[in-house]
């Protein structure tokens, strides 16, 4: 389990806010060249200690690794199955090259031809057969 560094980061953030307020108070009262107060020096030392602690914890977390148990040992080795023989492919009849479907105009023309043939056949059958 990694070691937590978040608690140190939060403490470091709070320390930085306090240090900034102390520095701003000193700058407003004495100017930028004024000597830091004892409280400000203590905050700086605390900040350095927190940074060192954060670095130490981070390095320790990088080196710390959990043991994940032993690896499983294979007791059964897989044996390759025999490959089935490829089946012979059936030959399909070749489709005629050309249009797959008749067009609408071709359909209507064939219907009209069939209707004309039916009418002609009907007329021929009405005539009496002449024997001669």
> What confidence category does residue 1 fall into, taking pLDDT thresholds of 50, 70 and 90?
very low
Packing angle of the helix pair 6-30, 38-63 (nearest 10 deg)? 160
Question: Is residue 30 pLDDT above 90, yes or no?
Answer: no
How do residues 63-92 score in pLDDT, each as one tens digit?
766 666 666 677 777 788 888 888 888 887
Give the domain extent around 50.
6-63
| Any domain includes 108 | no
How do residues 45-67 score in pLDDT, each as one tens digit?
999 999 999 898 888 877 766 66
Q: Give long-range contacts, CB 8 A cutoff, 24+ apart: 16-19.
A: 16/47, 18/43, 19/43, 19/44, 19/47
**pTM above threshold 0.85:** no
Look over the chain and give the mean of its residue pLDDT values, rounded to a whole number. 81
Structure tokens at 99: 């249009």
Q: Count structural domains, the chain.
A: 1
| Any domain includes 33 | yes
Give the whole-angstrom CA distance, residue 60 versus residue 54: 10
């Amino acid at each position: 389990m990694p070691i937590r560094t978040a608690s140190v980061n939060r403490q470091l953030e709070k320390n930085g806010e306090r240090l900034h307020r102390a520095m701003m108070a000193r700058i407003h009262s004495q100017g930028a060249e004024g000597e830091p107060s004892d409280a400000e020096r203590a905050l700086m030392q605390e900040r350095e200690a927190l940074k060192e602690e954060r670095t130490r914890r981070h390095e320790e977390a990088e080196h710390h690794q959990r043991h994940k148990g032993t690896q499983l040992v294979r007791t059964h080795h897989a044996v390759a199955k025999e490959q089935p023989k490829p089946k012979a492919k059936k030959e399909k009849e070749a489709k005629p090259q050309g249009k797959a479907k008749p067009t609408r105009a071709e359909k209507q023309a064939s219907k009209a031809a069939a209707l004309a043939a039916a009418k002609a056949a009907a007329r021929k059958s009405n005539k009496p057969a002449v024997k001669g």
